[in-house]
């Protein structure tokens, strides 16, 4: 078995009048995130982690934010496309781990739903998905409540026999 690790990072600014979508789950809050798509910052970080591990570029190339096809896009649907691209290149998802960085709201009540949502899009079991949240103790843009940041790592795996030597 050959494996590759990938890293993704993203940040979006809070904006009133939009739903807050994280890992494909709508979170009850007074603000959503600004973005061309649903601005699901966590799912964006996961997509970039997969694309990085598979050497397939990044989401800015694949889903340009000036392309009207992706206006209001559901990011977990784009994640499914990324998983399919990686699969076409011979890679399967081993596991994914995500850290959301935000001061508010608390995400613990949504964690299981977020894990299930990502696992379904990734085509893996829930035991292969980690979703965690942390604050920055009021420091920086997340600490001031200006937005949400997310980091993700992904392990991709493939059989040696498919590796082409
Ligand atoms: Mg983004």
Q: Residue 10 Cα, ligand 1 centroid: separation in angstroms? A: 5
Which residues have C-beta under 5 Å from ligand 1, the single-atom ion?
A: 10, 44
pLDDT digits (tens, 9 = 90+) for 31-72: 999 999 999 999 999 999 999 999 999 999 999 988 999 888
**What value does the mean pLDDT take over residues 21-30?**
98
Determine the distance separating the centroid of ligand 1 and the alpha carbon of 43, expressed in angstroms: 8
CA 1–ligand 1 middle distance (angstroms) = 32
Superfamily designation of domain 2-163: 2-C-methyl-D-erythritol 2,4-cyclodiphosphate synthase (3.30.1330.50)
d(CA 58, CA 147): 22
Average pLDDT over residues 18-23: 98
Distance (Å) from CA 128 to ligand 1 centroid:
23
53/87 Cα distance (integer angstroms): 12
Tell me how many degrees the CA angle 135-63-25 measures, rounded to the nearest 5.
40
Q: Residue 165 has what pLDDT? A: 47
CA of 41 from ligand 1 middle (Å) equals 5
Q: How far is the CA of 68 from the centre of ligand 1 (A)?
A: 16
Contact (CB, 8 A) for 76 and 118: yes
Ligand 1 centre to CA of 160 (Å) is 33
Q: How far is CA 131 from the centre of its chain?
A: 10
Is the alpha carbon torsion for 71, 40, 104, 140 positive or negative?
A: negative
Task: Report the separation in Å between the CA atom of 40 and the middle of ligand 1, taken as the mean of its atom positions.
Answer: 7
pLDDT in tens, 114-137: 999 999 999 999 999 999 999 999
**Distance from the alpha carbon of residue 124 to the mean position of ligand 1, in angstroms:** 23
């Amino acid at each position: 078995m050959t494996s590759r690790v990938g890293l993704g990072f993203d940040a979006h600014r809070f904006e009133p009048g939009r739903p807050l979508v994280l890992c494909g789950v709508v979170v009850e809050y007074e603000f959503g995130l600004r973005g061309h798509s649903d601005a699901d910052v966590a799912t964006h970080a996961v997509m970039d982690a997969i694309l990085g591990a598979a050497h397939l570029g990044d989401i800015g190339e694949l889903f340009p934010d000036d392309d009207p096809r992706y206006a209001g896009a559901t990011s977990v649907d784009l994640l499914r496309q990324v998983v399919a691209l990686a699969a076409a290149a011979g890679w399967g998802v081993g596991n994914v781990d995500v850290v959301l960085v935000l001061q508010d709201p608390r995400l613990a009540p949504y964690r299981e739903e977020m894990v299930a949502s990502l696992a379904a899009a990734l085509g893996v079991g829930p035991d292969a998905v980690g979703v965690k949240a942390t604050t920055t103790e009021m420091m920086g843009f997340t600490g001031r409540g200006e937005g949400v940041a997310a980091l993700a790592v992904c392990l991709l795996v493939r059989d040696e026999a498919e590796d082409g030597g």
